[in-house]
Structure 1
Amino acid sequence: MTDNLKTEPIAVDPAIGSEQRTGLGRLEVPIIGIFCILLLQAMVWASDFLIPVTAAFLGYFVLNRPRRWLARIGIPPVVSAALFTTVLTMVIGLLLVQLSAPAAQFIEDLPSLMERIKNELASAGGTLEKINDASEAAEEIIAEKDAETVEVEVVSNRGIITTIFSMAPGFLSRIMFALVLLFFLVASGDMFLVKTVQSFKRFGDKRKAVGVLYSIEDRLGHYLGGIAIINTGLGIAVALAMYIWGLSSAVIFGFLAFGLNFVPYLGGLMGATIAAAVAFVTLDGTWPAFGVFATYIALTSIEGQLVTPLVISRRMRLNTTVVFLTVAFFAWIWSVMGMVVALPILIVIKIVCDETGSWPTLARFLGDGQNAQTEKEAEPV
């Protein structure tokens, strides 16, 4: 009877398993492609929510190390979170109060400024005037053909001002949401770290997760803190330079330089272009505008080529092409704020690749040519 219960071993054709594995491998490519498309659409659709959330988490990683320092002297995380968010709120409120009057005046003068720039460019050369005449002639021909239609013209001299101020409530609500979320993150102490570690089963994975989070706090905090100090000095230098050149909105250009310098490569160029455009009209000449542009570029070049490499660790060296594409990508999906958070997000991705060792090819690609071990062992200057 025992012999009757014996079963023959089932023969498994290795070709079938190979075909199944090959079929699954072929399905991975379209599945990953669909996931990337859905993820991109979600990032664009939920930008109003994701931008303040991303800013809050970046702020959490930066402030977590100071929060631990305060905890060592007996200050609870809730008190530290209240202190940090209160200081940030006061700084933002002070900036808004101090900049409200000159910014409102600058925005009010912006339409006339653009009109004067257009007139100056038109008088400087005949090309724009010829294009304008051709455009008006084409409009007259179209108007003659559509003479029977009823035309309604809406005149608004304050369209730009209304549009800008209409964006203020949404902008302020995002700032408040980011600050509230930052408070809860910092007040939670190491709960985020504990929950992340608890999500892994193996001790090696837990240890690796702790190392990754500590490395993000260290390197990202060092980078953002150093950049903030450097940008403050750059803003003061640009404001003084613009004041010497005779621009009335020198303070505005100082704060503009501070904010735009968080955007790699493009920030300095945008600030210099705006300053040169204002100088072209207010200083009545091409050479003063060129001088303002050259001064702005010179200050940002000194900051980028001399000051930043001395303050920021060599571990922050990244592939310049990847940095540019990352900034352009986040500018496309998240506008100006996307350009600000693009580099910190790229730094976090680079740190994860370096510390986990799961994507060594991606880690080498994101770097500037140094291997991951060299970047890891490099110490801040």
Structure 2
Amino acid sequence: MTQTQHGSTDAAADHVEQRRALTDWAIIVIALLAVLTAFALARQFLVPVMMAFLLSLVFSPLCRWLRRRRIPEAVSAAVIVAALVAGLIAAITSLAVPVAGWIDDAPQYMWEIEQKLQSWSGVAEAVSDADKEIKEATEAASGDGEAMEVVVQESGPMSTIALEAPVVAAQTVLVLILLYFVLASGNLFYERLVRVMPTFSDKRRALSIVYDVEREVSRYLLSITLINVGLGAAVVIAFTLLGMPNPFLFGLLAFGLNYVPFIGALAGTALVFSVALVSQETAWAAAVSALTYWGLTAVEGQVVTPMIVGRRLRLNTVVIVISIAFWAWLWSFMGMLMAVPLLVTFRVFCKHVPQLSKIEEFLSGPDPMEGDEKEQAK
């Protein structure tokens, strides 16, 4: 065979290999789109299921610890679920009355906020001018000098909450029921996982992944929960001293929003500023309350969390923000709450699969020790 024939054969082989690679990537993209579509369509089912399994990762080590002390999993699972129900009822009871009052008085609050901001900008003047222009336009359109009556019918916040409440309640019940059965089953899931794996190495890798995911996610969620409790307590104390209304409510708000990194702190600061504009005497006093909230969350995010969580949870900050935005787009607020635990789970999975080691490295954040070594090298 001549050299020309060898070259044409190699070129044909390269062309076939390129087409095969393109086909593989096309299949992967189609599969990802199909999965995303399924996740979006099955949102009302998948959200409580995912939440139940994430909670089971947190409480499974506790159930095993109690089992070693001769307490059956069914009993420990019932106690854990009962404690969650009691905490949920207490939170709803604490939030229901003030939140309902805020919603009912929302128009009055908006007017007061407008008046407080008048010293900072021309918002109130612009709104007043726009209102006059609308009135003049309607009088001119009526032709006889009488203003036309414009009626806008739309659903208010309370009606929206009333419509969504049954769905949220059903999802919450599903989470609690599924959590109980997962915890009460003990190691049944792990045993079935080992049994379906074909080889011993696959069994060992599967167990390693499952236990590593459980350990990392449970440590992260437990650590963040303790940190959020401390942040909520600090907010309660600070707002009590600043004279903010319902300081316990804001502490509870800080506790919940802080499960969403970065975005939760910004949303909480904006909400505190809006409420403080109504409850405080001046806009500057409202700014002090908002800055206090932001300062506490900044100390938590930049000092406390790195010290407690440590190097075990090294995640790329950009990836965290993208993950939160993606899951918020897909599953709304519940997706934002589960974004970081799901990212931790995926990172642990990539760490145990050699083919995905580069993705695990990309998801990981900078190692403080590497920075110290570079400084010493300089």
TM-score (norm 2): 0.86
Q: 1:359 to 1:146 in 2, by over 3 A?
A: farther
**Could you tell me which residue of structure 2 aligns to residue 163 of structure 1?**
160
**Could you tell me which residue of structure 2 aligns to residue 277 of structure 1?**
274
Is the Cα–Cα contact under 8 Å of residues 44 and 334 in structure 1 kept in the other structure? Answer: yes
**Could you tell me which residue of structure 1 aligns to residue 371 of structure 2?**
none
> Aligned partners of 1:136 and 1:43: how far apart in 2?
48
Residue 276 of structure 2 aligns with an amino acid whose one-letter code is A
- Of 345-354 and 302-311, more deviation after overlay is shown by 302-311
Q: 1:336 to 1:132 in 2, by over 3 A?
A: farther
Q: 1:312 to 1:146 in 2, by over 3 A?
A: farther
Q: Which runs of structure 2 are paired with 1:295-334 in the superposition (5 Å)? A: 295-334=292-331
1:130 matched to 2:149: no
> Aligned partners of 1:105 and 1:142: how far apart in 2?
34
Per-residue deviation at 1:57? 0.6
Q: Secondary structure at the match of 2:112?
A: helix
**Could you tell me which residue of structure 2 aligns to residue 77 of structure 1?**
73
Q: Secondary structure at the match of 1:267?
A: helix
Q: 1:106 aligns with which of 98, 102, 107?
A: 102
> Aligned partners of 1:58 and 1:30: how far apart in 2?
32
> Aligned partners of 2:123 and 2:291: how far apart in 1?
26
The Cα offsets for residues 244-276 of structure 1, whole Å up to 9 and x where unpaired, read as: 111112111110000000000111111111111
Residue 106 of structure 1 aligns with an amino acid whose one-letter code is W
> Aligned partners of 2:335 and 2:287: how far apart in 1?
30
Is the Cα–Cα contact under 8 Å of residues 212 and 356 in structure 1 kept in the other structure? Answer: no
Is the Cα–Cα contact under 8 Å of residues 275 and 293 in structure 1 kept in the other structure? Answer: yes
- Of 253-262 and 351-360, more deviation after overlay is shown by 351-360
The Cα offsets for residues 324-363 of structure 1, whole Å up to 9 and x where unpaired, read as: 1111111112111111110000010111111233311101
Per-residue deviation at 1:31? 2.0
**Could you tell me which residue of structure 2 aligns to residue 153 of structure 1?**
151
1:245 matched to 2:242: yes
Per-residue deviation at 1:19? 5.3
**Could you tell me which residue of structure 1 aligns to residue 197 of structure 2?**
200
Q: 1:194 to 1:280 in 2, by over 3 A?
A: same
**Could you tell me which residue of structure 2 aligns to residue 117 of structure 1?**
113
Is the Cα–Cα contact under 8 Å of residues 364 and 370 in structure 1 kept in the other structure? Answer: no
- Of 162-171 and 285-294, more deviation after overlay is shown by 162-171
Q: How many residues align?
A: 358
> Aligned partners of 2:110 and 2:35: how far apart in 1?
39
Residue 315 of structure 1 aligns with an amino acid whose one-letter code is R
Q: Secondary structure at the match of 1:369?
A: coil
- Of 95-104 and 279-288, more deviation after overlay is shown by 95-104
- Of 311-320 and 106-115, more deviation after overlay is shown by 106-115
Is the Cα–Cα contact under 8 Å of residues 268 and 300 in structure 1 kept in the other structure? Answer: yes
Residue 25 of structure 2 aligns with an amino acid whose one-letter code is V
**Could you tell me which residue of structure 2 aligns to residue 225 of structure 1?**
222
The Cα offsets for residues 70-116 of structure 1, whole Å up to 9 and x where unpaired, read as: 11122222222212111111111122223322332233233321232
**Alpha carbon RMSD of aligned pairs, Å?**
2.7
> Aligned partners of 2:150 and 2:129: how far apart in 1?
23
> Aligned partners of 1:293 and 1:268: how far apart in 2?
11
Is the Cα–Cα contact under 8 Å of residues 117 and 123 in structure 2 kept in the other structure? Answer: no
1:179 matched to 2:179: no
Residue 29 of structure 2 aligns with an amino acid whose one-letter code is G
Q: 1:277 to 1:143 in 2, by over 3 A?
A: same
Q: 1:61 aligns with which of 57, 60, 63?
A: 57
- Of 244-253 and 125-134, more deviation after overlay is shown by 125-134
Q: 1:54 to 1:132 in 2, by over 3 A?
A: farther
- Of 217-226 and 92-101, more deviation after overlay is shown by 92-101
Gaps of 5+ in 1: 1-12, 372-381
Gaps of 5+ in 2: 1-8, 369-378
Identity %: 36
Is the Cα–Cα contact under 8 Å of residues 323 and 343 in structure 1 kept in the other structure? Answer: yes
> Aligned partners of 1:197 and 1:115: how far apart in 2?
63
Residue 173 of structure 2 aligns with an amino acid whose one-letter code is M
Q: Which runs of structure 2 are paired with 1:259-278 in the superposition (5 Å)? A: 259-278=256-275
